[in-house]
Homo-oligomer: A and B are copies of this chain.
Amino acid sequence: MEEKINMLIEKGVVPTTQRLIVFQHLEESKTHPTADDIYKALKRRYPIFSRATVYNTLFIFKEAGIIQELTLDKREIHYDPIPSPHHHFYCKVCKEILNIAISCPVAKKREINGHKVEDVQSTFYGVCKRCLKH
């Protein structure tokens, strides 16, 4: 807990109770949840939790570089607790999002054609290994 509080402070984020809960939930989640996934999960345990708080917190975290916003789904935004850029695979069948560890020189560029690059998102769309079998 101590370290989580310090981590938020280091990133310039006031460590409120709600923010610590959201942060811990993100860390523990192995998936790439949407804001509503997080809201529903936390609401069950902490009934006072508000939807707006989840949205605000995710916005704050993203701005602070603590998490990453994934705009790879046409319906809703997903969040990734790993802030460093990496590729993703989005399964059209089961809708799961998988991290892809792959070395890619293009994704490391900080400048391209004179444009300043701050973030990169690379997503593969298709059918995942598991769904291919069924």
Interface residues of A (CB under 8 A from B): 69, 71-74, 77, 87, 89, 91-92, 98, 100, 102, 104, 106-107, 109, 112-129, 132
From A99, which residue of chain B is reached at the shortest CB distance? B113
User: A91 contacts which chain B residues (CB < 8 A)?
Assistant: 115
In terms of DSSP, what is the predominant structure of the interface of chain A?
strand
Looking at the complex, which one of B71, B73, B113, B126 makes contact with A129 (CB distance below 8 Å)? B113
Chain B CB count within 10 A is highest, among A73, A92, A109, A122, for A122
Whether A112 touches B89, Cβ cut-off 8 Å, given contacts A71-B71, A71-B72, A73-B71, is yes
Looking at the complex, which one of B106, B121, B132 makes contact with A104 (CB distance below 8 Å)? B106
A134 to chain B, nearest CB (A): 13
User: A118 contacts which chain B residues (CB < 8 A)?
Assistant: 92, 125-127
Q: How many copies of this chain?
A: 2
A112 to chain B, nearest CB (A): 6
Chain B CB count within 10 A is highest, among A109, A116, A128, for A116
A109 to chain B, nearest CB (A): 7
- Whether A129 contacts B106 by the Cβ 8 Å rule is no
Measured in the bound complex, the distance between the Cα atoms of B132 and A114 in whole Å is: 9
